[in-house]
Chain A
Amino acid sequence: EAGVVQSPRYKIIEKKQPVAFWCNPISGHNTLYWYLQNLGQGPELLIRYENEEAVDDSQLPKDRFSAERLKGVDSTLKIQPAELGDSAVYLCASSSAGGDNEQFFGPGTRLTVL
Chain B
Amino acid sequence: GEDVEQSLFLSVREGDSSVINCTYTDSSSTYLYWYKQEPGAGLQLLTYIFSNMDMKQDQRLTVLLNKKDKHLSLRIADTQTGDSAIYFCAETPGSSNTGKLIFGQGTTLQVKP
Which residues of A come within 8 Å of B, CB atoms?
A: 4, 31, 33, 40-45, 48, 56, 91, 93, 95, 99-108
Distance between A19 CB and nearest chain B CB, rounded to angstroms: 19
* A72–chain B nearest beta-carbon distance, Å: 16
Contact of B42 among A4, A42, A56, A99 (CB under 8 A): A4
Are B105 and A42 in touch, CB under 8 angstroms?
yes
Whether A107 lies near B42 (C-beta < 8 A) is yes
| B98–A107 CB distance below 8 A | no
Is B113 engaged at the interface, CB distance under 8 Å to the other chain? Answer: no
Could you tell me the distance between the alpha carbons of A99 and B31 in the complex, rounded to whole angstroms?
9
> How many residues does chain B have at the interface if contact means C-beta atoms less than 8 Å apart?
23
Give B residues with C-beta under 8 Å from A.
4, 31, 35, 40-45, 48, 50, 88, 90, 92, 97-101, 103-106
Instruction: Name the residue of chain B whose CB is nearest to the CB of A103.
Output: B101
With the chains together, A103 CA to B99 CA distance in Å?
9
Q: Could you tell me if B105 and A56 are in contact, using CB atoms closer than 8 angstroms?
A: no
The 7 closest A-B pairs by CB, nearest first: A42-B103, A105-B42, A105-B43, A107-B42, A106-B42, A42-B88, A43-B103
Per the bound structure, the CA–CA distance linking A42 and B22 in Å amounts to: 13
**Interchain CB contact (< 8 A) of B106 among A42, A105, A108:** A42
> Do residues B100 and A99 form an inter-chain contact, with CB atoms below 8 A?
no
Residues of B within 8 A of A107 (CB): 40-42
A95 touches B43 (CB 8 A): no
CB–CB B4/A48 < 8 A: no
**CB-CB nearest in chain B for A45:** B100
| A40 to B97 alpha-carbon distance, docked (Å) | 27
Distance in Å: Cβ of A46 to nearest Cβ of chain B:
11
> Is there contact, CB below 8 Å, between B99 and A108?
no
- Known A42-B4, A42-B104, A45-B100; 16 more pairs at CB < 8 Å: A4-B42, A31-B99, A41-B106, A43-B43, A45-B101, A48-B99, A56-B98, A56-B100, A91-B42, A95-B99, A100-B48, A101-B97, A101-B99, A101-B101, A102-B48, A104-B45
In this complex, the member of B42, B44, B45, B88 whose beta carbon has the largest number of chain A beta carbons within 10 angstroms is B42
Q: How far is the CB of A101 from chain B (nearest CB, A)?
A: 5
